[in-house]
Amino acid sequence: MLYDFRSFVNPGKYAFGKGSINHLGELIDKQKNEKNNWSVFIIDNYFSGKPLMSKIPSTEDDLIIWIDTSEEPKTTFVNSYRDLILAHDSNLPATIVGIGGGTTMDYAKAVGLMVTNPGDSADFQGLDLIKNEGIYTICVPTVSGTGAEVSMTAVLSGPEKKLGIKCDYTIPNEVVFDPEILASVPTNQRFYTGMDCYIHNAESLNGTWITEMGKAFAEKSNELCKEVFLNKDMDRLVADEKMMVASIMGGNSITYAQVGVCHALSYGLAVVLKVHHGVGNCIVFNQLEKYYPNEYKEFKEMQTLHGVTIPEGITKECTETELDQMVEVSWALEHMWNNAFGPEWEKHITKDMIKDLFRKM
Ligand code: NAD
Ligand code: ZN
Q: Where are the domains positioned within the chain?
A: 13-182, 187-359
Residue range 77-91: mean pLDDT, rounded: 98
Nearest-atom number in ligand 1 for the CA of 183 is 18
Identify which of 99, 106, 163, 247 to mutate to test ligand 1's pocket (most ligand atoms within 8 A of the CB).
106
Q: Say if residues 53 and 93 touch (Cβ distance below 8 Å).
A: no
φ, ψ for residue 229, nearest 5 deg: -90, -10
User: What is the side-by-side order of every strand in the sheet holding 162-166?
Assistant: 126-127, 162-166, 153-157
Identify which of 8, 9, 10, 46 to mutate to test ligand 1's pocket (most ligand atoms within 8 A of the CB).
46
Q: How confident is the model at residue 6 (pLDDT cuts 50, 70, 90)?
A: confident
CA of 25 to the centre of ligand 1 (A): 24
Residue type at 294?
A: N
Residue range 36-53: mean pLDDT, rounded: 98
Q: Is the pLDDT of residue 1 over 60?
A: no
CA of 1 to the centre of ligand 1 (A): 32
pLDDT at position 3 is 54
Q: How confident is the model at residue 356 (pLDDT cuts 50, 70, 90)?
A: very high
What's the mean pLDDT when you consider all of the chain?
Answer: 96
pLDDT at position 250 is 98
Q: Mark 278-291 as b/e (b = at least 16 C-beta within 10 Å).
A: bbbbbbbbbbbeeb
* Structural fold of domain 187-359: Dehydroquinate synthase-like, alpha domain (1.20.1090)
CATH 3.90.180.10 fits 13-182, yes or no: no
Find, among 211, 95, 191, 81, the residue nearest to 143 by Cα. Answer: 191
CA of 262 to the centre of ligand 1 (A): 18
Model confidence, pTM: 0.96
**Beta carbons within 8 Å of 129's beta carbon, 6+ residues apart:** 123, 165, 167
Least confident of 1-15, 195-209, 215-229, 344-358: 1-15
Residue range 212-233: mean pLDDT, rounded: 96
pLDDT at position 229 is 98
DSSP H or E run through 176: strand 174-177
Question: Can you tell me whether residue 157 is helix, strand or coil?
Answer: strand
CA of 67 to the centre of ligand 1 (A): 11
Q: Which residues line ligand 1 (CB under 6 A)?
A: 44, 46, 69, 72-73, 100-104, 106, 142-143, 146-148, 151, 153-155, 181-182, 184-185, 189, 193, 196, 276-278
Domains 13-182 and 187-359 share a fold: no
Residue range 273-299: mean pLDDT, rounded: 97
